[in-house]
Amino acid sequence: MMMRKCFVAYLGFLSLVYGAYSQDGTFDFGPPVEIPMYLSGNFGEIRSSHFHAGIDIKTQGVIGHKILAIADGYVSRIKVQANGYGKALYIAHPNGYTSVYAHLDKFRDDIGQYVKSIQYEQETFEIDLYPNAGAFRVERGQTIALSGNSGGSSGPHLHFEIRDAKQRPLNVLRYPIKITDNVAPVFYSVFLYPFEGGQVDFQYEKIKKKTVKQNEIYGFSGGSIPVYGKFGIGAEIYDYLDGMPNRCGVYSIELKLDGDLMGQFVIERLDFSLLRYVNAHIDYEERQTNRTTVHRLYQLPNNQAGLYHYAQPGGYLEVKDTLEHDIEIVANDAYGNYSTLKFKVKGVHKRDIVEKKKISADAKEMPFDQENSYVLSDFKVKIPKGALYNDIAFNYKKSLPQGNMATTVHHIHTDTEPLHKYIDVSIKPDSHFGPYTDKLTLATVGRNNTLKYQGGAFSNGFVTARVREFGKYTIALDTLPPKIYALNLKNGGHLASNGQIKLIVKDSFSGIKEYRGLIDNKWALFEYDMKNDLMTFDMDEAYFERGQWHQLVFRATDHLNNQATYEIRFYW
Ligand SMILES: [Zn+2]
């Protein structure tokens, strides 16, 4: 018999949850842009280590479109960052909700002048301000900024969010916002995962089936899949919106067994402190190796994303007879478009096969619900409780350094296993680095042996860093200072009348930790665009005098304290 004893109780629970989540319909708001809205990203879609907290509205490939307040309110927060949200505005509305507008190019004049005055006062580009309610009032439809590509944006767009009173992002698409979506989600493949000695297709390993669509229903070729014991299901699904090629996320997924609802995943509201659980929601190995998004329709033990309702704890299925059973997966988008996938499983007896050894004989069992460590004479790792999503058989080995690697390569488990929390990794250098000891840092070794900076410093014979990924680690030596040069100015030259200076400030390895630009010995506001290694400064007569010679001194320091100074004389 199938397990379905909790089903009745489960239905009651589900409707209760829906009641609490249902939209009140009282938040009437206008569009945040004047142009037709096309999305390059939607709410809840799976990104690198987070669920997307808003929607990405395309701005026709350019910056400078008007950004409108969606409703009356006041500016409650202004944030400027070299990456992340870039220039962002938060507007508090009388109903307790907040709307968020990110990757902006320019703020409304009065807001912009206020921000600049604080930046000059505090001598910092990055700020995070909370103006009081009376400072900057806005009305519905008023222009509050111009759209841009600032911060960690990979093309001009508006990142837009609506948050509740507890600053939890809500599914914007569930509100009356004018986006056309007639395209249903698309299934690409289905995975079956055996658990606790269970078998799928007479194997102990997960299996993948590519889907085909026939008569509007997805399925796959071949007959029913033999299953024994407990198993879970995963599905590679994307949603698309009208006229756009972008792979977006689904709104909800339902899993049914012989017509009974066994599990549901719904993205109605997110919580910033829980976004990283996306690493447990997806099949992280598939993401790392194939760049595909496979939703697990069961729950890893330490997945606390809070987006699931299951008839059985953990969402596992189990077949205890030798009959055929129907499995159905329904994927919904926020506009009522949906797709269905159907297939059959058949209960079988366990096949007597040898379980493939995925792990070496000396692998160490690490339970997810306790602190774990692995200590050798030249290597240490400490993994705090809650860093793992499930129990693992921890693997470790060494290999010889190559190229720029300053020491042995330590293979810390595998980069296909995700981590929720930071772990402490310590590696002992193979040799002495004398005066360069303070230029040592940890690095991960990628494909083609490329090194990626992971931070850390030398102390007590080890280079130690807090990191959030497993993989191959070594020590790197960084003694190279950043490179600085002007794009539009020569020493002794005349600056264009608009007074804009553009500098490229590039670091080859660890990245820019801090920088300071002085003009005529006064702090100058250089806006840092990290993704483009670009520093932009605008001469402003409020701060600098026009019609004379000026001296620029720009200093940049990388994370290993290698420093570069660039000096130039110019007329403006
Ligand atoms: Zn976004």
Looking at the DSSP assignment, which residues form a beta bridge with residue 288?
none
Residue 395 CA to ligand 1 centre (angstroms): 36
Measured in angstroms, how far is the CA atom of residue 158 from the centroid of ligand 1? 7
Determine the distance separating the centroid of ligand 1 and the alpha carbon of 247, expressed in angstroms: 13
Question: How far is ligand 1, taken at its centre, from the CA of residue 160, in Å?
Answer: 7
Helix (H) or strand (E) holding 453: strand 451-455
pLDDT in tens, 495-517: 999 999 999 999 999 999 999 99
Question: Which residue, among 84, 62, 134, 138, has the nearest Cα to 107 in the 3D structure?
Answer: 138
Q: Quick: pLDDT tens for 277-334.
A: 999 999 999 999 999 999 999 999 999 999 999 998 899 999 999 999 999 999 999 9
At position 514, the amino acid (one-letter code) is: E
* Contact (Cβ atoms closer than 8 angstroms) between residue 265 and residue 253: yes
- Rounded mean pLDDT, 187-197: 95
Instruction: Supply the pTM of this predicted model.
Output: 0.91
> How close is the Cα of 154 to the center of ligand 1, in Å?
10
CA of 52 to the centre of ligand 1 (A): 6
How far from chain centre, in Å, is Cα 152?
A: 11
Q: How far is the CA of 471 from the centre of ligand 1 (A)?
A: 28
What is the 402 CA–ligand 1 centroid distance (Å)?
A: 38
Tell me how far the alpha carbon of residue 28 lies from the centroid of ligand 1, in angstroms.
22
Label the pairing between strands 338-347 and 225-238: parallel
Burial pattern 354-363, b for ≥16 Cβ within 10 A else e, equals eeeeeeeeee
* Token output for 262: 């066994």
Q: 254-269, pLDDT tens digit by residue?
A: 999 999 999 999 999 9
d(CA 300, CA 315): 9
The bridge status of strand 563-571 relative to strand 493-494 is: parallel
Which structure tokens are listed for 273? 């402190």
Compute, in angstroms, the gap from residue 50 CA to the centroid of ligand 1: 11
Q: CA 551 to CA 568: how far, in whole Å?
A: 6
- Weakest mean pLDDT among 3-12, 180-189, 357-366, 542-551: 3-12
Mean pLDDT across the stretch 186-200?
Answer: 95
Residue by residue, DSSP assigns 308-322 as EEESSGGG-EEE-SS
Ligand 1 centroid to residue 305 C-alpha, Å: 19
Q: What is the rounded average pLDDT for all residues in the chain?
A: 92
Question: Could you tell me the distance, in angstroms and rounded to a whole number, from the CA of residue 468 to the centre of ligand 1?
Answer: 23
Centroid of ligand 1 to alpha carbon of 57 (angstroms): 8
Q: 275 near 174, Cβ under 8 Å? A: no
> Which pair of structure tokens corresponds to residue 556?
């940049």
55 Cα: distance to centroid of ligand 1 (angstroms): 6
Burial of 314 per CB tally in 10 Å (0-12, 13-18, 19+): middle
Residue 437 has what DSSP assignment? G
Q: How far is the CA of 54 from the centre of ligand 1 (A)?
A: 6
